[in-house]
């Protein structure tokens, strides 16, 4: 078994075009407060107090929340509050380089979750890197019916919302 280990900080922002239904409209064009009756700065602090493992659910409450949770500002608020949680992302695979999957461990070593499977055909030999708190999976090759195909795909993982783009 071989594995990569990567440490990501909290919740990288993601600007993805692969899911236009949900992701293209979330910016500043949504009127109304984050929490009804509260100034946004108070509401933002309140949301930042929620532990990281619950954030994907929080991102499904409404578009305004989702937009905020994905923003750089959210990371900043959590950082200022001293609440950034470091998680360890471990890529495991079998001896033939197949059946790879990501396991996420929190800082106490508890297994938090399995990441969703990577899209597309099963890949091998790909590169992994963390850039600006984003997890990127790049290139590699896949074997379909005995024919190897090199890939130029890049996938980006949103650690906050648990979505692989």
Partner 1 sequence: MSSSAENPTLTAEITKPSTEIATETAQSAKKITLKTSDDQIFEVEESVAMEFATVKSFFEDAPSSTDTVPLPNVPAKPFSQVIEFCKEQIKFKANPDETEKKRSNSEFVKEKTNEDLVEMIPVANYLEIKDLLDVLNQAVADRIQNRSVEYVRSFFGIDNDFTSEEEALLREEHAWAFEDVDED
Positions touching partner 1 (CB under 8 A) are: 19, 21-22, 30, 35-39, 42, 45-47, 49-51, 53-54, 56-65, 113-114, 116, 161-163
- Least gap, CB of 135 to partner 1 (angstroms): 15
CA distance 162 to 94: 24
- Least gap, CB of 3 to partner 1 (angstroms): 20
- Least gap, CB of 106 to partner 1 (angstroms): 13
State the DSSP H helix or E strand holding residue 57, giving kind and residue range, or none if neither: helix 55-58
- Least gap, CB of 164 to partner 1 (angstroms): 10
CA distance 144 to 60: 36
Q: Which is nearer to partner 1, 32 or 121 (CB)?
A: 32
**CA distances from residue 40 to 13, 55, 81, 89, 163 in whole angstroms, order as listed:** 19, 18, 16, 32, 26
Q: Which is nearer to partner 1, 45 or 141 (CB)?
A: 45
CA distance 127 to 100: 13
């Amino acid at each position: 078994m071989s594995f990569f280990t990567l440490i990501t900080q909290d919740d990288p922002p993601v600007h993805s075009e692969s899911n236009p239904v949900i992701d293209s409209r979330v910016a500043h064009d949504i009127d109304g407060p984050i929490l009804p009756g509260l100034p946004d700065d108070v509401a933002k602090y309140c949301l930042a107090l929620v532990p990281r493992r619950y954030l994907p659910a929080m991102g499904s409450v409404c578009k305004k929340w989702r937009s905020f949770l994905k923003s750089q500002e959210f990371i900043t608020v959590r950082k200022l509050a001293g609440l950034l949680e470091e998680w360890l992302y471990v890529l495991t695979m079998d001896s033939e380089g197949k059946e790879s999957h990501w396991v996420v461990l929190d800082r106490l070593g508890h297994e938090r979750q399995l990441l969703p499977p990577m899209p597309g055909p099963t890949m091998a030999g790909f590169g992994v890197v963390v850039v600006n708190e984003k997890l990127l999976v790049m290139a590699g090759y896949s074997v379909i019916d005995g024919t190897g195909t090199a890939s130029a795909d890049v996938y980006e993982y949103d650690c906050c919302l648990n979505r692989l783009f």
